[in-house]
Amino acid sequence: MSLYLFRFFAVLLSTCFFLGLTGCNLPEPVTLSGVNIICFGDSLTFGTGAPPGQSYPACLSEVIGQPVINAGIPGDTTARALLRLERDVLSRSPRLVLITLGGNDLKNGVDKKIAFKNLREIVAAIQGEGALVVIGGIKLLFWDRGYDEEYEQLADDTGALLVPDILGGIMGNQKLMHDTIHPNAAGYKIMADKFYQAIKTYL
């Protein structure tokens, strides 16, 4: 092997090793369409349990210094969300769409196959608009019924970003909860930060 080739491969290996230590977790560059950041979901998006203006979308807007649309409706299931998807998301020039859905399906005993079929349709339609989808996974202790794994599979299959267990570290902490299901203002700030960490590279 010539000295030139030896040096070339030495530099290549060193570069790969360096990237392996520092850059493997960096997201791949993406080209996004649309202009709006939209939070789409149920009461966790709406902000039930917090005073007006202290929902997680409102907190996120403060953190990033950009408007964030709150398209949350308390009690929404994946089926009802699918029915209003065009009006509340697709028609609003979505760029980043943050989703918290599935908790009411789980609470209401909806078969997870049905719930995640609806979620797949929602994610596919949003991605079809050229927007990035970020899913906040819902995990209820002792009552999960396999939903947790389904969120992971959905993200793997669609390329959506997943924030697993969006209420992790919040639910069960009386200082962060309004009731047994909904965070208070302090809890929603933590939710907002979790979503911010997921999307900050794409802002």
Q: What letters, b where the CB count within 10 A reaches 16 and e where it falls short, cover 127-150? A: bebebbbbbbbbbbeeeeeebeeb
5-43 pLDDT, tens per residue?
334 334 334 434 333 433 333 344 567 999 999 999 999
Burial of 111 (0-12, 13-18, 19+ CB in 10 A): exposed
Report which of 109, 111, 81 is spatially closest to residue 97, judged by C-alpha positions.
81
Q: What is the DSSP string of 135-178?
A: EE----TT--TTHHHHHHHHHHHH--EEESSTTTTTTT-TTTBS
| pLDDT tens readout for residues 47-104 | 999 999 999 999 999 999 999 999 999 999 999 999 999 999 999 999 999 999 999 9
3-state secondary structure of 62: helix
pLDDT in tens, 95-145: 999 999 999 999 898 999 999 999 999 999 999 999 999 999 998 766 666
CATH fold for the domain made of 34-202: Rossmann fold (3.40.50)
CA distances from 154 to 42, 60, 161 (A): 19, 24, 10
Of 175, 157, 80, the C-alpha closest to 118 is: 80
Which among 130, 154, 136 has a CA at the least distance from the CA of 100?
136
User: In sequence order, what are the residues at sequence separation of 6 or more whose Cβ sits closer than 8 angstroms to the Cβ of residue 132?
Assistant: 30, 32, 95, 96, 97, 160, 161, 199, 202
Could you give the CA distance from residue 196 to residue 116 in angstroms, rounded to a whole number? 24
Cα angle 56-96-64, degrees, rounded to a multiple of 5: 50
Domain ranges for the chain: 34-202
Residue 87 phi, psi dihedral angles, 5° rounding: -65, -45
Q: Could you tell me the two tokens for 18?
A: 């360096």
Tens digit of each residue's pLDDT (9 = 90 or more) over 166-195:
999 999 999 999 999 999 999 999 999 999
